[in-house]
Structure formats: C-alpha cells, structure tokens
A and B are shown apart, each in its own frame.
Chain A
Amino acid sequence: MITVAMTSHLYRFFPELESREITVPAGSVAEVLRAVNDFAPGFTDYVLDERGALRRHVLVAVNKTILVDRKTLTDRVPEDGMVYVFQALTGG
C-alpha cells in the first residue's frame, strides 16, 4: 500500500482527511490521487485542473523525488512508497 501525506491546508476543505493515515493501493500518481478522491470527493479538483494536470502552484513528491510528469501523472509509486502533496512555494 501507498501512504499519502499532504499539506494541512487541504484539511480545511477536506476535514475527513485529517487525523488519519491515508493508504491507497499501489499505482501511478494519477491513480493514487484518484484513490484519495474516493475518500474525499472533490479532492482532485483542488490539486488537478480539468485536464488532469497538476495545478501550477501544487507540488507532488514520490518519496524524496519531486514529480517529473506533472501533465499526466504517470510516475509510478513503488509499493510501500509515500506520496506528498504540497503547496508550491510561489509567494513571498
């Protein structure tokens, strides 16, 4: 299983994701995020645009590696891996 961690700012919009370990089946980053959306409907609308690409100011890392494919999210997450969803530091 894959564990998903995220910025606490998202808990404001998805309180059901707070204070719990989020684990989903192994797959691509796109599949992982869709699985989180099953827990919290609307989640992917916050981190992805309507084309399924990562929003401009969102950053995703797989283990310690920043996501390579931001457009179709095909990066494979290894079994027992971690996916982190951050806000990109784009402000001052």
Chain B
Amino acid sequence: MFDAARIGYAGSARLRPIELAPWVLALLVYFLAPNYLPLGAYVVIIILFALSLDLILGYGGIVTLGHAAYFGFGAYAAGVFAIRVSGDPLLGLVVAAVAAGLLGFATGAVILRTHGLALLMLTLAIASIVFEIANKWTDVTGGADGLHSVPIQPVLGLFRFDMFGKTAFLYCLIVLAVGWWLVRTIVHSPFGVSLAGTRENDVRMHAIGAPVYWRRLWAYTISATLAGVAGGLLTQTTQFVGLSVLGFERSGELLVMLVLGGVRRIYGAFVGPLVFIVAQDYLAKQSPEYWTLGIGVLLIFIVRFARGGLLGLADRARAKLWGKKG
C-alpha cells in the first residue's frame, strides 16, 4: 500500500486510491476543524519541506543536515521580495523557488563532489554560513529581529489571506499538491530510477556510463527549489521571517520527522511532520516544561521498534493481518 515497489521500469505510476487519503484528510480538517487551520497550514508547509528532503535523502541517498539553508533562503527571498518589490504571493513563490534553486545548484556543485561524512559536514557548513549571513546582513534580513509585517496581496488578486487562515491553508495545500505531483513524477521517471541507482551503487553507475555527478546535482537542485518554496510559504502565511528558518534545529528536526514517517516512500514525508507537529502541539499544551521528553520517547520507540518509520510499521501490521509478505 505504501511501498516503493511500484517504482521502476516494470512499475506502475498509476494513482492508487489510498494516495488520495492525505488530500481527503486535509479537506476534512478544512471543513470540520477550522480552529486548526493555522497549525494545519504549518504542517502542510513542513510536509512540502520533508518531501523535498525525501527526494535527495530517501531516493538519492544524500544525507544532509543543512537542508534548512534552502528553506530559509527561500523564506528570506520571499520576504525581501514582498517588502521591496511586490506583495504578490505567486510571484513571491517563484522568487523563493529560483533563489533557493540557484543556491542549491551552486552549493550542491561543491557538496556533491564528496561522499558520506565529508558531505554531511559540508551541508552543515553551508547551512551555518547562510545562517550567519542572514544574522549579520541586518539591512536586508533584519538580523536577529527578522522581517515583520511582510505584505501579502490576495492570491491572483482574488483570494485575501483571512485571519482564520482559510486562504492560507488552501493556498499551501495547493502548492503542496504541485510539489507532491512533481516529486512523485520524478521518482517514477527514468531519472528517478537512475537516482536510485546512484544511491545503490555509484561505482556501477559510472560503469554503465551514467553522468552520476550531474544526476545527483539536478536532484539536489530540484530538492532545494522545493525547500525554498516551502520556506516562501512560511513567510507568506505568517507574514514574518526570522533566523529560526535557517537554524540547525530546523534541519535536524526535518530529518527526524522524515525518519519518523518513513524515508523513500513519499508519504512518509506526509505522516512524519503531521505526527511530529501534532504531538509537539499536544504535548506542549499538556506540559509546557517537559514536552520534549515526550517527543524523545516517541523517537526512541520508532527507532527501536519501527524501522522504516510509521509507514514501515503500518506495512508490517498489514502484512501480519493479511498474511502477506512484507
């Protein structure tokens, strides 16, 4: 149901009914739980961010601890553009996408010349550099104060961002749908299989004549672009951008959320952030002081008992129930 076995030259890219579940659920939230729309919009944004990571980490095998660099860069690009040029949200998203994509291409060109631990260190280094630039370049970024009251016009000149977060939620949801369609298409494409090949064995990829470096770099660029769009959405829906969009914690948390949901499944990127953020929200209300303990216990449980994340767990449960091979 959630597995990746349908990818490849003998696979099937046809949409399965279960894949509509996230969208149905989102619409249910929209109509039945209007109080949760601001939180919902945030979850949707982080899902898009996690999806961008799944493309390179899950499918490409590129482990990074610096993906917030692109999320944050997109967030700032959208913010600066809105303040200085235009408050049109769609134009702002394009700017965020292009900015993060270019940064992804430029930094990826350096990062992807390395592998493993060296690569991980470089992603950290680049995220730190971008963070420090945002921190020090106060004229543009507002430094530690960030950018407040970022103007945002109605979407397409028609749909105002209301105080209940209805427009914001649907806006984010539609952008996520586009991102999801893009990642899903790529993962099923020959490029996607090729990317999986670079993950599985780059020595063999070279031996079949594949441009390994370029495949990885394009995937990285696309991923950075999507991360930038997610960042842009956060700026636009909150009308604020601050240094936290670039912090190490954001990269780390993202990785945790993806692992929680399950990597290399597309929908792990949906389940992880949803569970993580909702649990965070709930636990923080129950116990403002000790909520991180709850998150910690949840993670230990997942890592110890649920390899493959929550969706991996779901797969195994299903296999047990139906007696099918997992």
Do A and B come together as binding partners? Answer: no
